[in-house]
Structure 1
Amino acid sequence: MTHAHPAYAQLRQVTPIAAVMLENNPGMMTLDGTNTWILRAPGREECVVVDPGDADEEHLRRIAEVGPVALTLITHRHHDHTGGIDRFVEMTGSPVRAVDPQFRRHTDAGLPDGELIEEVGLAIRVLRTPGHTKDSTSFVIEGEGSVLTGDTILGRGTTVLDSTDGDLGDYLSSLRVLIDLGSGRTVLPGHGPELPDLQVVAEQYLAHREERLAQVRDALEVLGHDAAVRAVVEHVYTDVDEKLWPVAEQSVRVQLDYLRPSHE
């Protein structure tokens, strides 16, 4: 039986190497839930897991049973991707590699940009893509060319930039890096369904960000350079449901930091 997104508690094969297990934690920030990716080379039993998800015992058990897990990789620090790390390590004994040392387990290895991770018949290229968060990282599956994008690119909608350590300049640069990978690469996102062409969606994301940035600039012309975040949201995000405005405030704060670095 072929499963379609969303398919909770089901291992769904997406590419010859990548399968996904969708955690049942839907919400405003997680869309249908968090995607845990399981990467396995043809003919091999061991796998690599990307983002074990939150501290959901049933979800973690299902992923562990897909193993044995040779390595776990983390796309970024958010709890819905990392909250289950310690329990998952208890279940599998897997080392965990992450940019942020606080999420590493059984190894001191980080995720330097450009590194080729060769593990259990897989070749996974590290591609640092900060902006959503400072530590955001994507992974290119060499051979088939698909790209795990974490929350840098989602399966639907657009990405919220974290107002604590997100950076719009970094994010725009990261989108251009993804565009430069070329066409025809499948997007394997942290939330939402897979997408057929990374270059196309990254170009759409870049155009959307540049349009929003122009709207924020225009809002400051009308409201004044020191306008409050909420005032800018109400001026710019008229096309967005008001219940999402608190989320939009995060991205506006990051845009204001980009436009006026002295903004507090």
Structure 2
Amino acid sequence: MTDVAVVRADNPGPMTLDGTRSYVLRAPGSASCVVVDPGPDDERHLATLAAAGPVELVLVTHRHADHTAGSARLHALTGAPVRAADPEHCHGGDPLRGGESIDAAGLRVDVLATPGHTADSVSFVVTVPDGAGSPEPVVLTGDTVLGQGTTVIAEPDGSLRDYLASLDVLERVGDGRAGLPGHGPAIDDLGVAVRAYRAHRLERLDQVRAALAALGRAPGDGREDAGETADAVVAHVYADVAPAVRRAARQSVVAQLAYLRDEPA
């Protein structure tokens, strides 16, 4: 099976949990490796990743700095191309395309477009090809599915509609397979986790609908007071959320309101 090493960055916090997880992947016996998500621009962290090499390729799950800030430096340390869906975060490599397959370090990496957390979010299905070992894939989910807690639908380009569609994609590839998230512990069965995520999102949507009814508001109450509506819904639905993650909750509410505005009457 795929050899997986986790190098956890020293950047714990309310949004990063115990730190961003960078992954070092290779087929059994491969001299080179693939790094997924270089993490923050932390010299010690990046030196550890470089020392695991030779690094053949660096892949990025999405644009957030706790996953990408170290990309340019890791490229300089190793010479390995850095590929991301967003060209801004590529260094010496082409942008990723959903549906493409990449061969590196004895592995096959299938790129899945999984927008929603951010517009550029991708996931990776990593397999040791037949004849070289076990073909059972692992799925790297970035911040689309976390090892604990739930994912924020991040402004300005997050989309709840896209996110729910991405959960469908991950459920199809994830049943019975391990998930490797950008934060938090590994997931034993990604399909089970995805179904729990979907149920949570739909429950929150029902809570937002109920809050709007109680507040006498509608999700399409004019864009000029959208911020006031979001604040009122956060206070109603997320009253038990810690202040440290209240801003993230508000981002998700903005996405929920946008989703409800587009619902058929």
Q: What TM-score results when the alignment is normalised by the length of structure 1?
A: 0.90
Question: What is the alpha-carbon distance in structure 1 between the residues aligned to residue 119 and residue 164 of structure 2?
Answer: 13
Deviation of 1:219 (Å): 1.0
Which residue in the other structure is 1:131 paired with? 116
1:16 and 1:123 mapped to 2: Cα distance? 10
Aligned in 2, Cα 1:67/1:106: closer, same or farther, shift over 3 Å? Answer: same
Residues 89-238 of structure 1: pairs in structure 2 closer than 5 A? 89-107=75-93, 109-142=94-127, 143-223=135-215, 224-225=217-218, 226=221, 228-238=229-239
Deviation at residue 239 of structure 1 after TM alignment: 3.6
Report if the CA contact (8 A) 2:2-2:25 is conserved. no
Moved more, 249-258 or 194-203: 249-258
Aligned counterpart, 1:37: 23
Q: Which AA in structure 1 matches 2:107?
A: L
Which amino acid in 1 is paired with 2:61?
A: T
Please state how far the C-alpha of 1:182 moved relative to its aligned partner. Answer: 4.6
Residues 136 and 51 of structure 1: is their aligned pair in 2 closer, same or farther, counting only changes over 3 Å? same
Which residue does 2:12 correspond to in 1? 26
When the two structures are aligned, how many residues end up with a matched partner? 246
Structure 1 residue 120, shift from structure 2 partner: 2.3
For residue 244 of structure 1, report the CA deviation from its aligned partner: 2.7
Rounded Cα–Cα distance in structure 2 between residues aligned with 1:245 and 1:41: 41
Matches of 1:243 and 1:97, distance apart in 2: 32
SS in 1 for 2:98: coil
- The secondary structure found in structure 1 opposite 2:206 is helix
Q: What displacement does 1:243 show?
A: 4.0
Unpaired runs of at least 5, structure 1? 1-14
Note closer, same or farther for the CA distance 1:67–1:182 as it changes in structure 2 (3 Å cut).
Answer: closer
Write the distance in 1 (CA, Å) between the matches of 2:185 and 2:166: 21
- Offset at 1:241? 2.8
1:76 correspondence with 2:77:
no
Alpha carbons of 1:182 and 1:191: their partners in 2 closer, same or farther (altered >3 Å)? Answer: closer
Deviation at 1:21, TM superposition (A): 0.3
Quote the Cα distance in structure 2 between the aligned partners of 1:51 and 1:135: 14
Alignment equivalent of 1:65, drawn from 36, 51, 69? 51
| Structure 1 stretches of at least 4 aligned residues deviating more than 4 Å after TM superposition | none
Give the deviation of 1:242 after TM superposition: 4.0
Deviates more, 1:216-225 or 1:133-142: 216-225
Residue type of the partner of 2:108? A
Shift of 1:42: 0.5
Identity of aligned residues (%): 54
- The answer to whether the 8 A contact 2:117-2:143 is kept is yes
Q: Which whole-Å CA distance do the structure 2 matches of 1:245 and 1:19 have between them? A: 33
CA contact (8 A) 2:83 2:90 kept: yes
How far apart are the structure 1 equivalents of 2:169 and 2:55? 30
CA distance in 2, matches of 1:95, 1:197: 31
